Amino acid sequence: MSLRDVAVAPPPGLAGVDPALIADLVDANRILFRHGVVDAFGHVSVRHPLRPAHFLLSRNLAPGLVTAADLVEFDTESEPVGADPPRVYLERFLHGEIYRVRPDVTAVIHSHAAAVIPFGIVPSRRLRPVFHMAGFLGAHVPVFDIRCCSGDATDLLIRNRDQGAALAASLGAASVALMRGHGATVVAGDLRQAVYRAIYAKTNAELQAASLALCAPGEMPVYLTEAEAATAAASIGGQIARPWGLWVQDAWT
């Protein structure tokens, strides 16, 4: 058996859940680490396929180390289900509150990817799609500022349901919300697509920063139009199978 075979083997606590989904969630953790979207921090969840008000998320662990045995079911309060729960992520509430108000969302990824941070702290420079792979960013990427609801002395973390709900409200119908001075949260109707979006949101931020640095005084990059972004998102969205196989192989070698 390979390292991956052992890591994705469904644990007894997840009986009934499609083993392929469990494998995808373990792979997603590895892939996001390998691509530098998450480091020791950050997390990825998936809506529970049998109890859609619940979700699956790792216990408190660096994503690059997550195996199926580390996955925990969380309830509508973003609390772990079952007796004697393990230590869990402080920011689990952002997952639960997004699933609550976005029935179309099946996967949520939270990261501190460095490349996106500048676009959350310079109000005149919003994250916008600069190439066809990032059309999902759309016309407007919201920036959540925790001072909106929790004052100006927080540690910027989403530590409770109210803060999670405020982030979810800021996200609205978008696929990405930046979080000022903190990171980003990416959602999709499919786990693999969420991973794709998290990777390419980071790449887009890198390209956009490079483009802005090249601009002459007064010049601005030529961004995708709103219609181009929508067309590209619909077109590329059907291509996820190709990168996924490569990413999985790369993540375990």
Helices (H) and strands (E) in the chain, counts: 9, 7
Tell me whether residue 226 is one of the annotated catalytic residues.
no
Q: Map residue 221 onto helix, strand or coil.
A: coil
Other CB atoms within 10 Å distance of the CB of residue 83: 5
| Cβ burial, residue 100 (10 Å; 0-12/13-18/19+) | middle
**How crowded is the C-beta side of 13, counted as CA atoms within 13 Å?**
18
Q: Map residue 80 onto helix, strand or coil.
A: strand
Radius of gyration, alpha carbons of the chain:
18
Set 73, 77, 79, 91: catalytic member = 91
Tokens 């952002």 belong to which residue?
94
| Cβ burial, residue 3 (10 Å; 0-12/13-18/19+) | exposed
Which residues fall within 8 angstroms of residue 6, CB to CB, at 6 or more apart? 67
24 within 8 A of 106, measured Cβ to Cβ:
no
Catalytic residues: 91
